[in-house]
Amino acid sequence: MMMIWTYLERKLRKKKKQLQRGRHKRHPPRKKKVSQLILSMIHHMQCLLVAVIVSLFATGGKSSVLLDVKPWDDETDMVKLEEAVRSVSMPGLLWGASKLQPVGYGIKKLQIMMTIVDDLVSVDNLIEEYLTEEPRNEYIQSCDIVAFNKI
């Protein structure tokens, strides 16, 4: 943010000097133009400030996603499976509560909640590129989306 202000201040000073000197040595200084330039530079600074604030605070929509993460068999260490899932980190991804649900024959699945920023995280890419790839696929057989709710 500070870099934008210093850049604009430097540019304003440079333009002001150019207009006070005149474009060429033969032309007299233009007082009216300097005030117009100052007003236009202030307007540009305000527009940049608004753009920066909007980009910082308008992060788009958020969604709450419930995932079913299934292990390979009943001997899979579910604590390590949960650690593998939670080790995925990216901007706009926040892991929430989790619990183990019985599936059958002694096998349990991990149900885990996550909150995502829609513009930053794609659930399909998260599952395909992160959760079912090496080294996490040692514990994870598959992932299913149980619920997907916009916040």
Q: Are residues 19 and 79 in the same domain?
A: no
Average pLDDT over residues 20-36: 59
Q: Are residues 80 and 146 in the same domain?
A: yes
Write down the pLDDT at residue 45: 73
Q: Are residues 22 and 96 in the same domain?
A: no
Say how many domains are in the chain.
2
For residue 67, give the H/E element and its range: strand 62-71
- pTM more than 0.75: no
Sequence letter at residue 106: G
Q: Are residues 53 and 66 in the same domain?
A: no
Q: Tell which of 15, 33, 57 closes a domain.
A: 57
Domain containing 136 equals: 62-150
pLDDT at 29 over 70: no
Q: What are phi and psi of 46, to 5 degrees?
A: -65, -40
Instruction: Name the nearest CA neighbour of 65 among 27, 93, 35, 24.
Output: 93
